[in-house]
Structure 1
Amino acid sequence: MKAGAPVRAGRKGAGRRGPSRRVVLVIAGVVTALAALIGTGVALAARPGQVATLAGHPVTRDELLFHLRRLAPTVQNELHNRFHLQTPITWAEKTGDRTALQRLTERALDDIHRDKTTLLLAQEQGLIDSPDHDAFLAALDAENARRADAVTKGEVVYGLAEFSPEQYYSHHLTELTTALKQRLAPELAVTDAEVRRAFDADRDAWSANATTYTYAKLVVPIPDDAPAGYARDLQRRVAAADDLKQVAEREPGATLTTATHQGGGTAAAHDRDLTAVLGGLDPGQVSAPVPGTGQITYYELDGETVDAEAAFAAYARRIRQSLIEEKFTQFLQRRVDSTPMRVDAAAVDAINAEDARL
């Protein structure tokens, strides 16, 4: 080896280099991020009082309790009718394969999913600032304060002087839905061809106000000394007869007349009622008895004619509106389907009937 030549260290005895500056920075960044997440509770754990999330927005425990209370009467009625219950609902007991409270909770979560999706859509359209429950409560307080101030000043207040939370929720959602249909008009547009197809597909449903009915009317006076079962016995005789003319020939004092009626001719209650009766009959069919003071009336439809073009002109606007409603419902359902709600099952299951004051 030459004097002064550099000495190279062998690989085996070489000292290891420390971590690079880049690695140190990455590790430090991860630690900082984890600390921030743990500190705020984001992603690693649900926020206290939160039972679900929808598109990043919390569904709070108080929000779910509000909907449980709001929907309880409706669900109670449905359960009584479905299961033929004769006693008051006990929320902890089973109705079918689930408890009444579980059924109510499922209904409440479904409503929250749909309604909050509507609120998110309203936020996107600039109709509200926030879809969260706290924002709804703030809006309720502001509206009630505005109405109270108007009452104090002697101003006219339309509707309620003060809303309950349940009343305002329905009012608020209805107003937003109406506004959304206006904002989304280009996406919900209905063509004249669509209106015509809807009319042609179900003309009977859209023709009452352009239908001319030919009918017979039988009025049978009730005798002063009629027995308690007179109306029932008369109904049997009418049902057994060939037509109202035959009944008129057999019933003392009965009067049979014939006439025509133009559906939708006037707004009078009698005309609307007559259209409803005749519109439910087939030619040759006799109506159910129509009781009156001292008399019983029957109607028999002889025939009907429909002015299709007049019917279309009369109903086109209503058909268009019904199609817009249908398109909006479909549009909203697509949004619901594409915006899943993540539910904290443990937090939901921890809620009992007493919590919701049921």
Structure 2
Amino acid sequence: MELREQTNSDRAEAVRQGEVVYGLTEFDDDEFYDHLLAAARTEVGQRLSDEPGDPLHATEADVEAYFAAHSDRWRTNATRYNAVTLTVPAADAKSPGCRELLTGDITAGGLKDLSSCRTATTEQTVLDGSDPAPQHSPQSRLLQTVSTLDVGAVAPATSTTEHVQRVGLLDAETDTAAALEQYRPRIRQALLDEQLTAYLDERRAGLDVDADLDRLTALAQETLS
């Protein structure tokens, strides 16, 4: 309890001083327990991976191999997306031809065929993932949508009181070398997390543990009282 209260006090003071505080600014008992577990896991991972020869040490070749196996996780900031946006006036969204464009099982290229919905319009946009856009801006929202799509796929329609829109991804080109360099720290951390989970599971499987649940409950009550 004393450590939690000190942590909360330190974080509150940091906020007052205008400093950046990562995570919660105040913890309750359960949140602080999770916080301690996360900190302990991070410390264990660092100690087991810092130096060559450590059980979880990863070489640059290991990081690059992990990236190659999971490259779809780390591509947005190094990809140029060619997107198409279909816009239909809300008043026409339920007409048969327009409804098919907005809800049908079609490809991104199919969004450009407006023969069945005369009031619809389309716009093609090239988005560069390496070019930051203001958060919540139309460009940022569009990038968030297309970055989840495979080439040729179409996202579900979204609507406002004025119009209904549907976005598709016509093409995407990723600079693999740039993606590896931009995301390298995150790739290394993801690899470490995966290795640490496997390592701890293996160690636990080899232990013969007999837990005294009554004693654990009593200790927990003492700690939280």
**What TM-score do the two structures reach when normalised by structure 1?**
0.47
Aligned 1:60-75 pairs, distance under 5 A: none
Indicate how the Cα distance of structure 1 residues 240 and 316 shifts in structure 2: closer, same or farther if over 3 A, else same: closer
| Residue in structure 2 matched with residue 327 of structure 1 by the alignment | 195
Contact 2:98 2:116 in 1 (8 A): no
Letter in 1 for 2:65: R
Contact 1:150 1:156 in 2 (8 A): yes
Secondary structure of 2:113's aligned partner: helix
How far off its partner does 1:202 sit? 2.6
Greater RCO between the two (CA within 8 Å, min separation 6)?
2
| Residue in structure 1 matched with residue 179 of structure 2 by the alignment | 311
Indicate how the Cα distance of structure 1 residues 304 and 168 shifts in structure 2: closer, same or farther if over 3 A, else same: closer
Alignment match of 1:280 (pick from 126, 129, 148): 148
How far off its partner does 1:319 sit? 0.7
How far off its partner does 1:156 sit? 5.0
Aligned 1:11-90 pairs, distance under 5 A: none
Contact 2:98 2:120 in 1 (8 A): no
Alignment match of 1:174 (pick from 38, 51, 58): 38
**What TM-score do the two structures reach when normalised by structure 2?**
0.71
2:124 counterpart of 1:294:
no
Secondary structure of 1:258's aligned partner: strand
Indicate how the Cα distance of structure 1 residues 200 and 149 shifts in structure 2: closer, same or farther if over 3 A, else same: closer
2:9 counterpart of 1:143:
no
Contact 2:90 2:160 in 1 (8 A): no
Indicate how the Cα distance of structure 1 residues 192 and 147 shifts in structure 2: closer, same or farther if over 3 A, else same: closer
Contact 2:101 2:111 in 1 (8 A): no
Which stretches in structure 2 are left out of the alignment for 5+ residues?
A: 16-20, 216-225
Letter in 2 for 1:311: A
Alignment match of 2:129 (pick from 251, 260, 263): 263
How far off its partner does 1:292 sit? 2.9
Letter in 1 for 2:123: T
Aligned-partner Cα distance in 1 for 2:105–2:189? 45
Secondary structure of 1:243's aligned partner: helix
Indicate how the Cα distance of structure 1 residues 251 and 234 shifts in structure 2: closer, same or farther if over 3 A, else same: closer
Indicate how the Cα distance of structure 1 residues 343 and 148 shifts in structure 2: closer, same or farther if over 3 A, else same: closer
Q: Deviations over 1:153-198 (max 9, x none)?
A: x9557722xx543232112212222222233323232110011111
Letter in 2 for 1:246: D
Aligned-partner Cα distance in 2 for 1:215–1:176? 44
How far off its partner does 1:337 sit? 2.0
How far off its partner does 1:271 sit? 3.8
Q: Between the two proteins, what is the percent identity of the paired residues?
A: 26
Contact 2:97 2:117 in 1 (8 A): no
Contact 1:265 1:271 in 2 (8 A): no
Q: Deviations over 1:46-85 (max 9, x none)?
A: xxxxxxxxxxxxxxxxxxxxxxxxxxxxxxxxxxxxxxxx
Aligned 1:240-255 pairs, distance under 5 A: 243-247=110-114, 249-255=115-121
Aligned-partner Cα distance in 2 for 1:177–1:342? 23
Contact 1:264 1:272 in 2 (8 A): no
Aligned-partner Cα distance in 1 for 2:8–2:43? 25
Indicate how the Cα distance of structure 1 residues 337 and 274 shifts in structure 2: closer, same or farther if over 3 A, else same: same
Secondary structure of 1:259's aligned partner: strand
Aligned 1:150-229 pairs, distance under 5 A: 155=13, 159-160=25-26, 163-184=27-48, 185-186=50-51, 187=54, 188-223=56-91
Q: Deviations over 1:315-342 (max 9, x none)?
A: 2111111111122222222331232211
Letter in 2 for 1:243: G
Letter in 2 for 1:333: D
Which stretches in structure 1 are left out of the alignment for 5+ residues?
A: 1-139, 349-358
Contact 1:285 1:301 in 2 (8 A): yes
* Over 4 Å off, 4+ runs: 147-151, 154-158
Aligned-partner Cα distance in 1 for 2:184–2:10? 41
Aligned-partner Cα distance in 1 for 2:10–2:169? 55
Contact 1:264 1:271 in 2 (8 A): no
How far off its partner does 1:231 sit? 8.3
